[in-house]
Amino acid sequence: MGLFSRKPKAPEYDPADCAAKKKRLREIFNETVKDGDSYEVLYACMYSSKFEEGFVFDTNTTTFCFYVMGYRRSDFCIVLIQVDSALENHSEAVFLDMDSIVNVSYDPKITKACLEYRKDYGSFGELLDIGGTSSKTMYGPKNIHQPEEKERFLDFLEAFRARLEQKGYKLDKWKR
């Protein structure tokens, strides 16, 4: 450690509120997806920024999307359900087309998992922040601490990467 470096602080969260939010994530997933109990569930966030140059002012707009993400290792299925920040309203389930994914990567510094689609698919892929939230989060649901869930999802992604390598795809480096 250097003279001016600081040890990163552990995220602050309320364990009781965290358990209640995880229970709510499971309820949302089970009422939306048939056979929901066969999936493992975790919270994920995706955001995108858009910069526009104006005549007088430049604007930068950031859009946040919050998801209940379920995955099943038996058939390598991933399901996303968009939720609001209060975890009250949710959308229909979106099943990812896992046959179109050609690369999987993970950046541990920003806790983002990237599922990249093939070039002719129409969109780049899914860039999911799976790090959870603290009690001081400015956006989205607060107090979702999920280190065990994140590690199980990364195990799932490593198994999926092995499947992609068997198919002959050239993958990015994997750091955990």
The three-state secondary structure class of 73 is: coil
Domain with 157 in it: what CATH number? 2.30.29
Range with lowest mean pLDDT among 29-38, 43-52, 86-95:
43-52
pTM: 0.83
139 found inside a domain = yes
38 found inside a domain = yes
9 found inside a domain = no
- Runs of H (alpha helix) within the chain: 15-32, 147-166
Mean pLDDT over 20-24 rounds to 94
Say what the pLDDT of residue 5 is: 64
pLDDT surpassing 70 at residue 1: no
Question: What is the C-alpha separation between 110 and 126, in angstroms, rounded?
Answer: 15
The three-state secondary structure class of 125 is: strand
Please answer whether residues 107 and 116 qualify as being in contact, where contact means their C-beta atoms are separated by less than 8 angstroms: no
10 found inside a domain = no
Structural domain containing residue 85: 15-50+60-166
Domain count, the chain: 1
pLDDT one-digit tens code per residue, 44-57: 998 776 767 777 77
